[in-house]
Structure 1
Amino acid sequence: MKLKQLQAWLRQASFYAEEAYNAPYRSAIARAKREQDDLFMLLIFSEMMGVPNPASYYTLELQPLLLERFHDWHIRMGMPHSPLDNIRCC
């Protein structure tokens, strides 16, 4: 019984140590991910508007997956409605 208690305590201590180590970096990582997602979204939807995308061959198959996230993106960018006429998400 003591061995199981010790293992559980070590697992919990490891979890808290990992959380304490990662806490200062969590917001910076989230911000970098948002910026990367915003740039990627801009490239994809600029292509839909007729601006040539240099990575179009690689991003074309990802478009259906990103349409689900388009609403969150344009709200975060401060646009209350979709900026594109052919995409109605609101």
Structure 2
Amino acid sequence: MSKRGSLKKLFQLYDEILSLPHKTEVARELRDEDDLFLLLLYSDMLGIPNPAFYYTLELYPYIIEKFHDWHLRMGIEKSPLDGIRCC
């Protein structure tokens, strides 16, 4: 093994040691960011004005699968939107 390869593995190990305690925080932040994005995406259907509705409309087919998990995490048992039936 060359010095460059062993040095690269050492840096990877160092990075993993530093980021290990923060993995749950990072995962929580990513989930919260995803929830905020979904709220923005579906806000017009919930009655909240969305200035970016025209740009987010084409994302619906890609996000519809995540919508069920999102509304369950928000504490809503059934889909709050009439146009989207996932339950």
TM-score (norm 2): 0.73
After superposition, where does 1:47-86 map in structure 2 within 5 Å? 47-86=44-83
Structure 1: how far apart are the matches of 2:8 and 2:86? Answer: 44
1:53 CA displacement: 0.4
Query: Is 2:15 aligned against 1:18?
Result: yes
Residue of structure 2 in register with 1:44 after alignment:
41
Q: Which structure: larger Rg?
A: 1
Which fold has the larger relative contact order, with Cα–Cα distance below 8 Å and residues 6 or more apart in sequence? 2
Instruction: Indicate how the Cα distance of structure 1 residues 32 and 70 shifts in structure 2: closer, same or farther if over 3 A, else same.
Output: same
Gaps spanning 5+ residues in structure 2: where? none
Residue of structure 1 in register with 2:27 after alignment:
30
Which segment drifts farther, 50-59 or 40-49?
Answer: 50-59
Gaps spanning 5+ residues in structure 1: where? none
1:26 CA displacement: 1.3
Structure 1: how far apart are the matches of 2:26 and 2:74? Answer: 19
The one-letter code matched in structure 2 to 1:18 is D
The sequence identity of aligned pairs, in percent, is: 50
